[in-house]
Amino acid sequence: MAPTLPRLTWLLALAACAETTAPLPPPVEVLVVLHRTQAQLTVVPVDAPSESRRISFAAAPPLDAGLALRQDVALVAAPADDAVLVVDLQAGVVLRRLSLPAGGGAGGVAILDDSIAYAASPGTDQVVRLNYRSGATAALAVGRTPLPVIATRGRVFVVSANLATGPCGAAPACPAGASWITVVDPITNQRATGIDSILLPGPGNARYAEVAPDGLLYVVSQGNGLQEARLSIVSPVARAELGNFGGFGSDPGALAADVGERLFVASRTFGLMEFNTRTRSVVRGAGAGAAIPDNVGVEVDSRGRVWALEAGPCTPGAPGRLQLLRDDLTVAQAIQLDECPWTVAATALPAGG
C-alpha cells in the first residue's frame, strides 16, 4: 500500500535532511622536530609516536634558528642559505625556497595567516615579510640583530638581540647593550604607529620568546652566556616591559606555555625549569629543574601534555630523544630520535591530506 500523504511528506523531509557524505575524521595532532645538524624534520603523531616519519631536504646546517607551523605547512629558517624553506608536511616535500637578504642569515619565523609570514634577517638588521604562497618578499629595517619574531594582537614583534661584532674572549656572545623589540604593522609593513620600540632592560642577547594564554609576551635575554639571564614580561597592548626575573642560570632557552599558568623554560645545563605567570614567580629555577639532559626544546600539545627535547651530544650518529612528561615533569615516555633534535613545535594536520 502506498504511504499516506502525511507519511510521504515526513519521509521526503527525512531524506532531505540526511547526510550525503560521512564527516571527515578529526585532524591529526603532530609534533614537528627540526634537527640542528641534519637537514631533516621528524613528524611525530602525539597519539602514535611509533609512527613518526622523516622529511629530508636540501639545506646547510646548522638549522636552529626558526621553525613555524600552520596546519600542514612548515617554515624552516636556513641561516647558512639566507633562506626560508616552505615544507608541505603531508607530502613531505619542499614547496619553495624564499630568499632573504644576502649575507643576513635567517632568524626566527612567525606565520600570520594562510599566506603571510615574517622572518628575521639578523645579519642585515631587517625583518622580511614573506608571502609563502606566491614567494613575494619585502624587507623592513628593525633593531640590531633581530632573532625571535612573534605575531600577536594584530602586530609583529621583532626581538633584537643587539649583538656586537668582534672578539668575545671566553664568552659565546657579545651583546652591545640591552635588547629591544620593534613593533611592526603587517598591513603596511612599516613600524607601528604610536609606540614602535620596547626596551628590554637586562644583559641583552634576547633569543627566545613566547606568547602565553594571559596574552603577555615572555622573552629570554641570555647576555654573553656567562652571566645571569633574565626573563622579561612584555605587554603587547601597552607595548612596555612589565618586569623581569632572574633565577634561570646563564643558558635558558626555548619557552612553551600551557593553557593555564605554567611557563616552561628549557636549559641544556639545568633541565626543564618553570615559571608561574599568575604569581610571577620562579617555581623551578636553576638547580631545581626537571632532569632532562641537554634540554634544548619544549612544547605543550593541545591536551596540555608537556614534551621536552633532549639533544644528546650532537655528534654523528648519536641519537636524541623526545620525552613525554607527567604533570610533575617526570618522564612518562621517551622516544628516540635521530641526531641532534633542536626545535619542536605542534600542529594539527588536516584529515584526508
DSSP notation for 275-299: EETTTTEEEE-TTSSB--TTEEEEE
* For residue 62, cis peptide bond before it (omega within 30 degrees of 0): yes
The SS3 assignment for 343 reads: strand
Confidence of residue 13 (pLDDT cuts 50, 70, 90): low
Q: Compute the average pLDDT of residues 181-196.
A: 98
Residue 230 has pLDDT above 50, yes or no: yes
State which amino acid sits at residue 223. Answer: G
First to last CA, the chain: 48
pLDDT of residue 302: 95
What residue type is 237 in one-letter code? V
| pLDDT of res. 19 | 55
Alpha-carbon distance of 179 to 176, in angstroms, equals 9
| Cβ 343 vs Cβ 37: under 8 Å | no
Residue among 187, 73, 191, 67 at smallest CA distance from 132: 73
pLDDT, residue 9, reads 52
Number of residues assigned to the chain = 353
Cell of 169: 674572549
Among the listed residues 28, 29, 54, 24, the one whose alpha carbon sits nearest the alpha carbon of residue 39: 54
Task: Give pLDDT, residue 218.
Answer: 98
Contact (CB, 8 A) for 162 and 170: no
Q: Which grid cell is 243?
A: 618586569
Q: What is the DSSP letter of 32?
A: E
Question: What percentage of the chain exceeds 90 in pLDDT?
Answer: 88
For residue 6, pLDDT over 80 is answered with no
Q: Tell me the pLDDT tens digit for each residue of 282-307.
A: 999 999 999 999 999 999 999 999 99
Confidence of residue 168 (pLDDT cuts 50, 70, 90): confident
Q: Does the pLDDT value for residue 3 go beyond 60?
A: no
CA atoms within a 13 Å half-sphere pointing along the CA-CB vector of 282: 19
- Alpha-carbon distances, residue 176 vs 42, 125, 144, 198, 322 (angstroms): 36, 14, 9, 17, 35
Q: What is the mean pLDDT of the chain?
A: 93
Residue 66: pLDDT over 50: yes
pLDDT, mean of residues 138-147: 98
pLDDT tier at 166, thresholds 50, 70, 90: confident
Name every residue whose Cβ is closer than 8 Å to that of residue 247 and which is 6 or more positions away in sequence: 282, 285, 286
The backbone torsions φ and ψ at residue 17, rounded to the nearest 5 degrees and listed phi first, read: -90, -15
Cβ atoms 47, 29 nearer than 8 A: yes
Predicted pLDDT of residue 89: 98
- Read off the pLDDT of each residue in 213-220 and give the average, rounded to a whole number: 98
Pairing of strands 206-211, 281-284: unpaired
